[in-house]
Amino acid sequence: MSQPWSPEIAITPLEAREIIEAQFPQLIPVSIAELGKGFDNTVFIVNDMYVFRFPRREIAVQLLSIENQLLPLLVRQLNIVIPEPIFFGQATTDYKWPFTGYKHVQGDSPGVLSDEVRNLSAVPLALFLKKLHQFPIDQAEKMGVPHDRFERMNIGKRKEMLVDNIKKAADLHLVEEDQAALDWLSTMKETKLNTPITLVHGDCHIRNILVNKEGVISGIIDWGDTHLGNPAIDLSIAYSFLPQSGREPFFQKYGEVSNEIKMVAKFFAIYVGFILLLYGHDIKDDQLIASAKESIKLALN
């Protein structure tokens, strides 16, 4: 059965290099290496200076177009580095979708860090999300930023998917069937949480944040899921990345948040953690598996 991250179009580094050299001769000679495969895009590092994202699925094409308009505005407003689009590639006879090149955001995936190190990112993360969530909704709408089209706040639907993923992870011996997670899920309301509405990153989890050599957050990447929706989707990072001791300073700096939104944020931290765990297993990424397990553990505390 096809996985949600299965590509509709696959592109190799050689194919990407030929397209980039043809459209951006100023980058010749192009050195290129695959940086990773997301659900929606294949990502390459070019000349050790730029990151190029080529859509793997058609749904990513419109999202990439929105990023190209939105990110240049956000770059100047946010306290954490985000990708700045500077190369706008066009479809070719061999590759049918447009693509984008960005300034390379420096940093590494967080991996397994101590609580003390994680807590150093609590305030920067809170300030980042506070500013992002204050972006004018009408301005975002004019740029085509969509409202939530995927029923992300349909907790009943998402809970069923999470229970299924917990069982899949247990069957693969990635985790024991986590009764603590299942017990906690039984308290979740099976209703749609529709308000409030803000501009959100939409995919703010451990695979889309970068840290510096000291383990402190240095960048937030992959804005393909940006939409107008509930801030709980982003606030989940307070549960999936920060330990319990880091959440009080996080929410003090971010501002008042209802207990309902906090509960939904915690839910999404666990929900996404199990998706990343299964994805890491599927692509045989041991570091991602370890990071996902750590993320789930943090969220359940």
How does pLDDT run across 139-159, given as a tens digit for each residue? 999 999 999 988 888 888 899
Q: Is 178 in a helix, a strand, or coil?
A: coil
- Coil/strand/helix, residue 301: coil
Which residues on adjacent β-strands are paired with residue 154? 192
CA separation for the pair 230, 235 (Å, rounded): 9
Decide: 29 and 18 in contact? Cβ < 8 Å: no
* Average pLDDT along the chain: 92
Q: Is there a contact between 200 and 231 (Cβ–Cβ < 8 Å)? A: yes
Per-residue pLDDT at 192 exceeds 60 = no
Q: pLDDT tens, 159-183?
A: 999 999 999 999 999 987 677 888 8
Q: Give the model's pLDDT for residue 4.
A: 66
What pLDDT is recorded for position 119?
A: 98
pTM for the whole structure:
0.91
User: What is the second-level CATH architecture of the domain 13-103?
Assistant: 2-Layer Sandwich (3.30)
- The β-bridge partners of 103 are 50
Per-residue pLDDT, 2? 58
Rounded Cα distance between 68 and 82, Å, is 12
The answer to whether the bond into 196 is cis (omega within 30° of 0) is yes
Q: Among all chains, which residue has been given the structure tokens 């349909």?
A: 154
What confidence tens digit (pLDDT) does each residue in 27-57 have? 999 999 999 888 889 999 999 999 999 999 9
Sequence-distant (≥ 6) Cβ neighbours of residue 155 within 8 angstroms: 188, 189, 190, 191, 192, 193, 264, 267
Catalogue the E-assigned strands of 132-262: 198-200, 209-211, 217-220, 227-229
Whether 42 contacts 5, CB under 8 Å: no
Closest CA to 118 of 8, 197, 216, 45: 216
Name the helix (H) or strand (E) containing 63. Answer: helix 59-75
Choices 3.40.50.300, 3.90.1200.10, 3.40.50.720, 1.10.1040.10: CATH for 115-300? 3.90.1200.10
d(CA 45, CA 52): 6
How close are the terminal C-alpha atoms of the chain, in Å?
A: 34
Alpha-carbon distance of 284 to 22, in angstroms, equals: 34
- If pLDDT is split at 50, 70 and 90, which confidence band does 1 have? very low
Quote the pLDDT of residue 191.
57
Is residue 266 predicted with pLDDT exceeding 80? yes
Residue 62 tokens read as 């419109």
For the chain, domain boundaries: 13-103, 115-300
Cis bond leading into 146, ω under 30°?
no
Would you place residue 237 in the very low, low, confident or very high pLDDT band (cuts 50, 70, 90)? very high
pLDDT of 177 reads 64
**Number of helical H runs and strand E runs in the chain:** 12, 9
Model confidence over 128-138: pLDDT tens digits?
999 999 999 99
